[in-house]
Amino acid sequence: MSPFAPIDGWLAPAPPPGRVGWLREWRYAHRGLHGPGAVENSPTAFDLAMRAGLGIECDIQRSQDGRAMVFHDWQLDRLTGESGPVAGRTAAKLAMIKLNGGKDAIPTLDALLDQVAGRVPLLIEIKSRRDQRIGPVCLAVRRALEGYQGNHAVMSFDPRVPRWFASQSPRTIRGLVVTEEGKRGLGGTWGRHAALWHARPDFLAYDVRDLPSTFAAAQRARALPVLAWTVRSAELAAVAAAHADAPIAEGEGLP
C-alpha cells in the first residue's frame, strides 16, 4: 500500500458511491461531437453528441460582466473572426460572435443547460489561471447551475476550483483534472497528492497518455471514478477501457 494512502483517505475522502456512480456509465464527447460544420463547444456539436447518446464535456470562460461562457481559449482569435480576450467583452457581445466553420455563436452556460435539459450528463471544465482569483468564474458557474436538475459535474486543472465548490457549493460534484506531463519522479508524485488533498475532488479526469498510472490506480481503488482524456484513437480507447472508468473522447476515439 502506498505510504500516501492514509493521508489521501483523511484529507480527500472518497465520495459516497451513489453520488458519483453516473460518471462511470457514459462516454463523453470532448467539447461536443465536433467536426466539419460542427465547431467545438457549439450548440450544433452538443446536439450531435446528444443524438449519438453521448455525454458532453465543455469548457467555461468568464465574460467581462461575470457570465459563464462556453468557450475553450482565453483569446477569441483561433475560433472566431474576432481577436482579444474573452474576458474583455460582455456576455451579450460574446453571444453575437460567430464561431468559425459553422452557423453557431458563442453560447452561454445557461443556454447550454437549456439545450441539454438533463437529457445527457455534463462535464464542465472551468478554465483558470494561477495568477488570478478563481472565485468570480466559480461563482458565475454556480449561478448558472442553480436549479439545474440534470446530472452534471465541474472540474479543473486548478485544485482551487474543486476546493471552492467543496466549500461554497458542496452538492456540486467536482473533479480534478490531472496530467503527469513534465511532472515525473518524486516531486511529481508529491505534487499530485498535494493537489488531491487541497482539491478534495469527487473524481479525477486523467490524461490518457499517462495511463496506466500508479497514482490514478490508487485513487480508483478507493472508489474515486477516473475519467480519461482526451481519447482520440482506437488505441487510446483501449487504454481508457483498461485503466479508467469512462472516456472523454473525440474523433476516432468515439467508435
Q: From CA 164, how far away is CA 159, in angstroms rounded?
A: 9
pLDDT value at 1 more than 80: no
Q: What is the pLDDT of residue 186?
A: 86
| Cβ atoms 226, 219 nearer than 8 A | yes
Q: What is the pLDDT of residue 65?
A: 98
Whats the size of the chain, residue-wise?
A: 255
| Cβ atoms 34, 42 nearer than 8 A | yes
pLDDT value at 217 more than 80: yes
Which amino acid is present at 165?
F
For 69-118, how does the pLDDT look when each residue is reduced to its tens digit (9 = 90+)?
A: 999 999 999 999 999 999 999 999 999 999 999 899 999 999 999 999 99
What is the mean predicted confidence (pLDDT) over 223-247? 98
Mean pLDDT computed over every residue of the chain: 97
Q: What is the dihedral of CA 185, 189, 192, 193, to 10 degrees?
A: -170
Domain parsing of the chain, residue ranges: 1-26+153-161+172-255
Q: What is the pLDDT of residue 183?
A: 83
Proportion of the chain above pLDDT 70, given as a percent: 100
Q: Dig out the grid coordinates for 90 from the structure.
A: 460582455
* DSSP type of residue 86: G
Q: What is the pLDDT of residue 2?
A: 75
- Contacts of residue 255, defined as CB under 8 A and 6 or more positions apart, other chains included, come to 234, 237
Q: What is the pTM of this model?
A: 0.97
pLDDT value at 182 more than 90: no
Residue 68: which of 137, 154, 169 has the closest Cα? Answer: 137
| Cβ atoms 175, 153 nearer than 8 A | yes
Q: What is the largest CA-CA distance in the chain?
A: 54
| Cβ atoms 208, 181 nearer than 8 A | no
Residue ranges of E strands in 17-71: 28-30, 55-62, 68-70
Which amino acid is present at 19?
R
Helices (H), ranges, 89-222: 91-94, 109-116, 135-145, 160-168, 185-199, 214-221
For 139-152, how does the pLDDT look when each residue is reduced to its tens digit (9 = 90+)?
A: 999 999 999 999 99
Q: What is the pLDDT of residue 87?
A: 97
pLDDT band, very low/low/confident/very high, at 64 (cuts 50, 70, 90):
very high
Least confident among 1-5, 30-34, 168-172, 237-241: 1-5
- Contacts of residue 28, defined as CB under 8 A and 6 or more positions apart, other chains included, come to 54, 55, 56, 57, 121, 123, 227, 246, 247, 248, 249
Q: From CA 112, how far away is CA 11, in angstroms rounded?
A: 34
| Cβ atoms 104, 63 nearer than 8 A | no
Q: Dig out the grid coordinates for 181 from the structure.
A: 506531463
pLDDT value at 123 more than 70: yes
Angle at which helix 109-116 crosses helix 43-51, to 10 degrees, equals 20
pLDDT value at 135 more than 80: yes
Q: From CA 241, how far away is CA 244, in angstroms rounded?
A: 6
